[in-house]
Amino acid sequence: MTLQSGRDGESTPDGESRSGAGRDPRPTRRGVLLGVGLAGLGGVLAGCSTAAVPYDASEAGVPPNGPAPGAMPSSGAMTSPAAPGSGAMSSSPAPRGGQASRPARKKAKPKPKGTVLGATSDIPVGGGAIYSTAKVVVTQPASGQYKAFSAVCTHVGCLVNKVTSGTIDCPCHGSEFKITNGAVVTGPAPSPLPARQIKIVDDQVVLL
């Protein structure tokens, strides 16, 4: 057996030289593990943030008082105001009670119950006015004093037609009645004119 040099001329038993040209080209296990470890370390370093983190921040890097006012959103998306008609709620304060403010409306005066005969100005002092439709005669014996009676004569049922000289006169047979109480002044009417109930509302005569 011929010995050859093992180190740059050192001999080996099998006759092969230990020079670089005769080494196994496959990587060793130690080299593979070393390469994987370096690659993992590089990925960790690349994922780390280079931004400054406060001393008392949480694990996520958030300060105890929350993010700074000028900090950008972590996702990198910019927020923009909602466009008109997008359904976003208005920032203006709503009126209390959930209703829009409305101008106050003036309350209308309630209409008087009964039938309005006419204005008080139509009834002269010492005289009266005859309302044929309602069959009522209204007199004013003294200023501001109003009386009302049936306009149907108690003789044969004719309607009286005038108020003059302090009496209510019937045109059929000449019966006359007092404007103060409807009593008979001149016959043939057998009984006074029945009284009717009225009231004055806003200078109007209302038949009750």
Instruction: Tell me the domain boundaries of the chain.
Output: 115-207
Q: Specify the fold of 115-207.
A: Rieske Iron-sulfur Protein (2.102.10)
At 98-113, the pLDDT tens digits run: 555 666 676 666 666 8
Task: Give the pLDDT band (50/70/90) at residue 93.
Answer: low
- Count other C-beta atoms under 10 Å from residue 82's C-beta: 12
Mean pLDDT of 21-43: 58
Q: Which residue has the higher pLDDT, 1 or 67?
A: 67
- What integer best gives the mean pLDDT of the chain? 73
**pLDDT score, position 113:** 80
Alpha carbons within 13 angstroms on the beta-carbon side of residue 88 total: 9
Of 138, 151, 132, nearest to 189 by C-alpha is 151
Rounded average pLDDT over 122-132: 94
Q: For residues 198 and 70, give the distance between their C-alpha atoms in angstroms, rounded to a whole number.
A: 81
